[in-house]
Amino acid sequence: MNKKSNNLFQKILTKRTVFISFIIAATLASCNKNNEEMMTEAHTTTLHAESIKKGQLEGQTITYERKDGMNFFQGDIVLSDKQLVGDNSKGGASFSRWPGGKIYYTVASNMGSINANKITSAVNEYNTKTNTQWIPRTNQTNYVEFIFGSSSGSDGWAHIGFQGGRQNISLDQYISVGSVIHEMGHTVGLYHEHARKDRDQYVSIQWNNIQDGQAYNFNMYNSGTDIGPFNINSVMMYWPNSYSKNGQPTIKRANNTNFTYNRTGFTTGDINTINTMYP
């Protein structure tokens, strides 16, 4: 082989060596990335599993999530430690009503005008259609503060019933007025409609479509008091696709047909339920 051919061979060999090295490096990087993603997912799953707890709520064993120092039941209901150990003293029971149906409230200074307007609309719905009265706080010690949640989300959460002292309702930036009414419903003392003891007569839970580790959010709450008939359009009803892992419904009608639900505000059933609780 002459010198020119030898140089050409070396160049080809060098390029091929570089190319093969690039493939090996890219493959290793991909493997490392996949391993990192798998480790991250496993770590997240482990953290989630560690945050899932068992507790007692009015004599019933329930599953809840311990997150940010709070106890989340069915996703957006915050239970106090007293409620989970059955301490009914000092307004600790989950069925406690607001005295006289009067709920004093204040709005956090960072809430923003858009959500402040949603709160005003929701308060007007309660004050004009139910026996509860939401009243701006002056110096009351038992009250609710609307606090700002996520700047990119559309959810919320609230403490359940009257607990005494300050309690919160958290609202994300893009939450709807209907969902504000929903969270205020928890404060009034309402649980989710899909958790009623008679729910299986009216709806079918699609367990195979629920996200892994979230099925406990669909358990029935047997210790509550069901008021009036089941209301699939209740403002307290889960969405048809709540916690779906595949975009398919997690809740259908009992005859296995889909239902369309828009959370826009109170139904007559919601109003009757609240007014039964607060005559």
User: Would you please indicate which residues are annotated as catalytic (active-site) residues?
Assistant: 183
Phi, psi of 57 (to 5 degrees): -125, 105
Cα–Cα dist 239/180, whole Å: 15
Count of Cβ atoms closer than 10 Å to residue 252 Cβ = 17
197: its two tokens? 């003891």
Residues of each annotated binding site: 182, 186, 192
Residues of each annotated binding site for Zn(2+): 182, 186, 192
43: its two tokens? 């770590």
Give the DSSP H/E element, type plus range, for residue 77: strand 77-79
Q: Tokens 């008021």, residue?
A: 227
How far, rounded to the nearest angstrom, does the alpha carbon of residue 253 sit from its chain's CA centroid?
22
| Spatial CB neighbours of 187, under 8 Å, sequence gap ≥ 6 | 103, 144, 158, 159, 160, 161, 167, 169
Give the DSSP H/E element, type plus range, for residue 37: helix 3-51
Cα–Cα dist 164/142, whole Å: 5
Count of Cβ atoms closer than 10 Å to residue 215 Cβ = 15
Cα–Cα dist 182/188, whole Å: 10
Count of Cβ atoms closer than 10 Å to residue 170 Cβ = 22
